[in-house]
């Protein structure tokens, strides 16, 4: 069963190669990309079910035993994230059938998207810090080209800001990896956990931990390292922006949670007040930036930053409930925020703009689109009984339960109110108020039925996910709590990789 770990890597790689071989055939590339996305989701779902039933899975590539070889490992956290990534890959692949311009497809959109998915899945499944760096660079190269695809001025400006900051993060990451290898003599995460988890911090270990936190913090867009994100994400095509919003910052958060709960646990416990301060500032600055915006894509990009703060809050609180709540929140926000971006893409396709001052009256013209956006917006704000309510409740309850974290709880609740305000601001301006030019919505160019449903179905699927999770949270909540317990008690992870009890 451990060979299942190779499938989430082989499938996007094979799909990318097949798309390259079909370079001159646009329709064939679309079919290949869609089939690859379906198979990736199926493989990820099988992997998740297998990990639930069999426990942590590990495999050593090339027959080299750990900690010397290339290790792939899946516990509940990583298997769940691969499954979510597979789902997002399929949803965006369907949406891209209607949204992606022929020019982008001619320049390599489909193989690049598959390479991006390869980097994402590799980051979730690797058990080795150097290979985590390799997968991060795979993502960086693919995402940079996707941002710059088409060569428009705004895209190039956004892509340059994106790549410069992420190259700085990569340099810090590589420096931390090199220093850690010099200190510990290994980069296998399970082996490092066995060596460092129970020992007192000494020597350069805290400095190494700081380097890792800064590197992953840039990639996750935490305060004060977030400013590259709202300056770049809104410039890309909507399908690209959606997959970036859903997965790239979440890979950074995943790495923070994985590395600091597994390897730098002593430092994490000591830095709890500082991490909570960073979480609170990330929430506040992100939501204030969103409130100040009058363009839908930039507003939603600032909300990516704000929602990252809740995930860092779960890491800072460092209890099973907090980590479980953070994992639950990650699944929720991927679905809700992606639905909002896809709905915004439909607005752009219908009106040619996402400037709130130029919009209005869409509720009468497109009631389905207005309803989908409203539900996803309320879920993001945490209105019951949608998914965001349970995600935020777990984090808030964890903060109250610990007894001395009332400030971060108050910040989380305040940011939720500001999120609701900014979401209602969008909905009122774009959908509810009268059109800027009276009768303008009556002359909007109609989307063909085929194009409309290719865009509406993925948006509706993600919106329905937020509703389903909200109405029936128990299965996902139980899975997230089991994943949190594995993170805090990593004996099964270490044994699956090394074959010895820590």
The reported pTM is 0.93
Distance CA 342, CA 258 (A): 30
**Percent of the chain surpassing pLDDT 90:** 58
**pLDDT-derived band of residue 450, with 50, 70 and 90 as boundaries?**
confident
pLDDT in tens, 453-485: 889 899 999 999 999 999 999 999 999 999 999
The tens digit of pLDDT for each residue in 201-252 reads: 567 889 999 999 999 999 988 988 888 888 787 778 888 889 998 999 999 9
CA distances from 281 to 222, 247, 277, 381 (A): 9, 22, 6, 18
The whole-angstrom separation of Cα 99 and Cα 207 is 45
Q: What is the DSSP letter of 70?
A: E
Over range 147-175, report the average pLDDT. Answer: 84
Q: Which distant-in-sequence residues (6+ apart) come within 8 Å of 312 by Cβ?
A: 220, 222, 253, 256, 275, 278, 279, 282
pLDDT at residue 440, rounded to an integer: 45
Residue 344 has pLDDT above 60, yes or no: yes
Helix-helix angle 406-427:367-381, to 10 degrees: 170
SS (H, E, C) 393-451: HHHHHHHHHCCCCHHHHHHHHHHHHHHHHHHHHHHHHHHHCCCCCCCHHHHCCCCCHHH
Q: Report whether 494 contacts 194 (CB < 8 A).
A: yes
Residue 199 — very low, low, confident or very high, per pLDDT cuts 50/70/90? low
Residue ranges per domain, the chain?
273-490
What pLDDT was estimated at residue 435?
67
Compute the distance between CA of residue 94 and CA of residue 455 in angstroms, rounded to an integer.
8
pLDDT-derived band of residue 447, with 50, 70 and 90 as boundaries? low
- The first and second tokens of residue 483, run together, are 């994943």
Q: What pLDDT, in 10s, does the model give residues 244-300?
A: 989 999 999 999 999 999 999 888 888 999 999 999 999 999 999 999 888 888 999
Length in residues, the chain: 502
pLDDT at 385 over 80: yes
Residue 197 pLDDT level (bands cut at 50, 70, 90): low
What pLDDT sits at residue 179?
A: 93
Residue 78 banded pLDDT, cuts 50, 70, 90? very high
């Amino acid at each position: 069963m451990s060979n299942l770990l190779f499938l989430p890597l082989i499938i996007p790689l094979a799909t990318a190669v097949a798309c390259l071989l079909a370079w001159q055939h646009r329709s064939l590339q679309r079919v290949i990309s869609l089939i690859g996305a379906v198979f990736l989701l199926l493989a990820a779902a099988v992997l998740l079910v297998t990990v639930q039933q069999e426990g942590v899975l590990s495999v050593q590539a090339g027959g080299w035993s750990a900690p010397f070889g290339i290790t792939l490992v899946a516990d509940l956290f990583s298997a769940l994230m691969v499954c979510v990534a597979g789902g997002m890959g399929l949803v965006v692949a369907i949406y891209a059938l209607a949204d992606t311009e022929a020019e982008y497809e001619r320049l390599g959109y489909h193989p690049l998207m598959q390479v991006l998915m390869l980097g994402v899945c590799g980051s979730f499944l690797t058990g080795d810090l150097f290979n985590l760096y390799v997968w991060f660079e795979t993502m960086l190269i693919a995402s940079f080209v996707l941002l710059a695809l088409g060569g428009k001025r705004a895209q190039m400006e956004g892509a340059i800001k994106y790549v410069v900051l992420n190259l700085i993060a990569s340099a810090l990451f590589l420096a931390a990896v090199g220093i850690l290898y010099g200190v510990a003599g290994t980069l296998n995460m399970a082996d490092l956990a066995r060596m460092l988890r129970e020992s007192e911090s000494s020597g350069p270990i805290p400095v190494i931990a700081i380097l890792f936190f800064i590197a992953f913090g840039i990639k996750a867009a935490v305060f004060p390292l977030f400013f590259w994100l709202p300056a770049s994400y809104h410039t890309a095509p909507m399908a690209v922006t959606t997959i970036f919003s859903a997965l790239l910052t979440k890979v950074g958060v995943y790495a923070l949670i994985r590395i600091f709960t597994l390897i730098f646990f002593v430092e994490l416990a000591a830095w709890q007040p500082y991490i909570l301060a960073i979480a609170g500032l990330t929430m506040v600055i992100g939501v204030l930036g969103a409130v100040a915006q009058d363009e839908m894509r930039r507003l939603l990009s600032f909300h990516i930053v704000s929602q990252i703060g809740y995930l860092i809050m779960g890491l800072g609180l460092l209890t099973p409930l907090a980590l479980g709540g953070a994992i639950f929140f990650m699944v929720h926000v991927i679905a809700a925020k992606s639905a909002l971006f896809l709905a915004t893409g439909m607005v752009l396709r219908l009106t040619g703009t996402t400037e709130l001052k130029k919009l209005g009256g869409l509720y009468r013209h497109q009631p389905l689109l207005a309803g989908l956006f409203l539900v996803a917006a309320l879920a993001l704000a945490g209105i019951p009984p949608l998914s965001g309510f349970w995600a935020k409740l777990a984090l808030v309850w964890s903060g109250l339960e610990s007894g001395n974290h009332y400030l971060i709880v108050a910040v989380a609740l305040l940011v939720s109110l500001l999120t609701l305000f900014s979401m209602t601001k969008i909905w009122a301006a774009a959908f509810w108020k009268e059109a800027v030019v009276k009768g303008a919505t009556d002359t909007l160019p109609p989307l063909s039925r085929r194009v409309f449903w290719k865009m509406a179905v993925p948006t509706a699927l993600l919106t329905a996910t937020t509703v389903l999770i909200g109405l029936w949270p128990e299965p996902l909540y139980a899975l997230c709590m089991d994943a949190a317990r594995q993170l805090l008690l990593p004996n099964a992870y270490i044994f699956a990789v090394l074959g010895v009890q820590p």
